[in-house]
A and B are shown apart, each in its own frame.
Chain A
Amino acid sequence: MQSQFDSGAKDQKANRPLVAEFRAATKRYGTVLAADALSFGIGKGEFLSFLGPSGCGKTTALRMLAGFETPTSGEVYLDGERVTDVPAYRRPVNMVFQHYALFPHMTVAQNISYGLMQHRPRPDRADVARKVDRALDMVRLSGFGPRRIWEMSGGQQQRVALARAIVNEPKVLLLDEPLAALDRKLRREMQIELQTLQRQLGITFVLVTHDQEEALSMSDRICIMRGGRIVQSGSPNALYDQPISRYVADFVGKSNFIDGRLTALSATEGQIETPVGQRFAGRVSGALPLGSKAVLSIRPEQIDLAKSARTGAEAVTVINRIFLGEHTEYLVRHASLGDLLVLVARQAEASAGSFAPGDAGFISWAPETGLILPQD
């Protein structure tokens, strides 16, 4: 397993003051290690996402920040204060729950004012009403205040949940797969809305998701998780261009992988040899000793598909063609490399001609676009 590695350090946004911090926070459920010595900081105003497969500990990390779980060991800091043992109701963070968890016995407005009404002495009613209206405005639900929760659609309930959290102006807003229950179109809309809202309010957002598209499109920074650890964290660009392992490359975007052994290594360049003796050059990312098992990762859009052979091109057969609008995705079969994905831009296809299943073709890629990664 990779050590924690922050490739986003160069990001200008990474220099913000920290609003929350985990210091070796570990959570154990019996024999399950749900969070394994998590150490990371969250910058003020940052949009941070936790991305990883089911069961990797994303929710656990979020719940330790919210105060629903106490770390087995390690510390959690909020705004410079140690909050490891502070219960949820005394932490200045709010959460949007996966299934919204709206109070069914209250109206929309009562739900939204719930957090404000807990303050002692009780806040001014007119003031609360004003804040609730503003929050409803922000999530585009003006006038829905007196409605009952079950009179709202799924997407509307989602926005009520959002309003209920942001009306309290939390230091950090936690979102646990908030869009998972929405259909594709609505999800896309809400992603944009969330982003806009985050910029408007300047609140720090921490989002948990297993949808890479969601994480890539919204976040300033993404933490890729695996087995309770953060494998790599960085900006979406950094993760896409410089993954430090096959796991990350596979999780962020699509990629083709060619297995082999590292046979040559310079400062940044390297060469792998496949089991049948083919050799490919590429940039080396991550810590790799000479002779170790490695994998060459090539993004589908970096492969060129042509009708005629060029030097260094590999002969393939087209298996499938999927039209995606701006792009066309081809699945091609190579005698020894197996099946590969190739993404051809619309313009390129218009000039070079398209392929039908069964057609022969030749693929090639620039050596510097290939990434040699540790096999994990």
Chain B
Amino acid sequence: MRLYAFAVYLFLYLPIAVIAIFSFNAGRHASQFTGFSVQWYGKALSNPFVTEALWTSFIVALTSALIASVFGTMAALALQGMKGRVRVVADALIYVAVMVPGIVIGIATLIALVTLFGWINPLLALLAPEGQAPQLSMGYGSLIAAHALFSMSLVIIILRARLAGMDRSLMEASADLYASPFATFRQVTLPLIFPGILAGFLLSFTFSFDDFIIAFFVAGSETTLPIYVFSSIRRGVTPEINAIGTMVLVVSLLLLVAAQVILRRGPKKEGADAA
């Protein structure tokens, strides 16, 4: 049994370790380690295609995470106010949304957007003067929209847990002390759920930054980092790709750890009032 578990971990982590190790390979072949070097990191970061893809990924991740955080927070707050069966169904749907395979979301978003553009573009053409009508198409917008859509469920789940664990009487105490609903939100609710929002933001960012499947469907002519890696792998695995992979891995892990730390630290503070 123990051997089995060991094998599983080996399967899981050995390939990742190999990538990380070979990213420091001095030689240009991915199959034999010829000495330590960081030259591939330099090469990767000075490759204009890589930096451009990195920039695209960064912008998409940042924007979609921001949108997901804001709208996810609003949705979670609205859900908190709901009662009974509606809330149960809404909660269940959020969990379903997280479990839907990426490929389904990718295709669904693609079809939805293409259909939408199919309606809007002729309208825009009608409204705008001859030949200058903006054409909506796949690209940044669709990438950000699709990622924000998915990440929003993550944010909602995190915040729902946090709001559920929050003492409702804190809000009542605030109202009792003459704070209007908005003042209560700003001074009590928001500070208390902020760690959750931040964690949700970091998770959303990580998700978007790493995502290949959804991006592949809706990216249009844009190239995110995962898409770049995928397309260059078809020309063979180079140490440069390993270096990129390792960098993405490290950034993602750091963000995930940060999110965990923030989430862990939050509730301790909160529980203290009931002690």
Q: Write the residues of chain A forming the contact surface with B, with a CB cutoff of 8 angstroms.
A: 66-68, 87-90, 93-95, 97-105, 114-115, 118-119, 148-150, 154, 157, 164, 168
- Residues in chain A near residue B170, CB distance under 8 A: 101, 103-104
Q: Does B221 contact A (CB under 8 A)?
A: no
Q: Is the interface of B mostly helix, strand, loop or mixed?
A: helix
Q: A66-B176, A88-B176, A118-B179 are in contact. Are A105 and B192 (CB under 8 A)?
A: yes
Query: Which of A101, A119, A148 is the most central at the interface, judged by chain B CB atoms within 10 Å of its CB?
Result: A101
- CB contact between A94 and one of B176, B183, B192, B269 (< 8 Å): that residue: B176
Mask: chain B, 167-178; 1 = CB below 8 Å from A; 0 = not = 101101111111
Query: Which of B167, B181, B270, B273 is the most central at the interface, judged by chain A CB atoms within 10 Å of its CB?
Result: B273
Q: A99-B167, A101-B167 are in contact. Are A164 and B191 (CB under 8 A)?
A: no
- Residues in chain A near residue B269, CB distance under 8 A: 104-105, 150
Give Cα A103 to B179, complex, Å.
Answer: 13
Q: A150-B272, A150-B275, A154-B275 are in contact. Are A101 and B169 (CB under 8 A)?
A: yes
- A-B pairs with beta carbons under 8 Å apart, 17 shown: A68-B175, A68-B176, A87-B175, A88-B172, A89-B177, A93-B176, A94-B176, A97-B169, A97-B173, A98-B169, A99-B273, A101-B170, A102-B173, A102-B273, A105-B269, A114-B177, A118-B178
CB distance from B154 to the nearest CB of A (A): 24
- Residues in chain A near residue B184, CB distance under 8 A: 89
Give Cα A66 to B178, complex, Å.
Answer: 11
- Residues in chain A near residue B172, CB distance under 8 A: 68, 88, 95, 97, 101
CB distance from B65 to the nearest CB of A (A): 24
Number of inter-chain CB pairs below 8 Å: 81
Give Cα A312 to B273, complex, Å.
Answer: 60
Q: Does B260 contact A (CB under 8 A)?
A: no
Query: Which of A90, A97, A148 is the most central at the interface, judged by chain B CB atoms within 10 Å of its CB?
Result: A97
Q: Does B188 contact A (CB under 8 A)?
A: yes
Q: Who on chain B is nearest to A170 by CB?
A: B176
**Pairs A-B, 6 closest by C-beta atoms:** A150-B272, A115-B177, A101-B173, A101-B169, A118-B178, A88-B175
Known A99-B167, A103-B188, A118-B180; 9 more pairs at CB < 8 Å: A68-B176, A87-B175, A97-B169, A97-B173, A101-B172, A103-B170, A104-B273, A154-B275, A157-B275
Whether B177 and A164, one on each chain, are in contact in the complex, defined by CB atoms closer than 8 angstroms, is yes
Q: Who on chain B is nearest to A87 by CB?
A: B175
Whether A101 and B175, one on each chain, are in contact in the complex, defined by CB atoms closer than 8 angstroms, is no
Whether B192 and A89, one on each chain, are in contact in the complex, defined by CB atoms closer than 8 angstroms, is no
Query: Which of A90, A98, A103 is the most central at the interface, judged by chain B CB atoms within 10 Å of its CB?
Result: A103
Give Cα A157 to B176, complex, Å.
Answer: 18
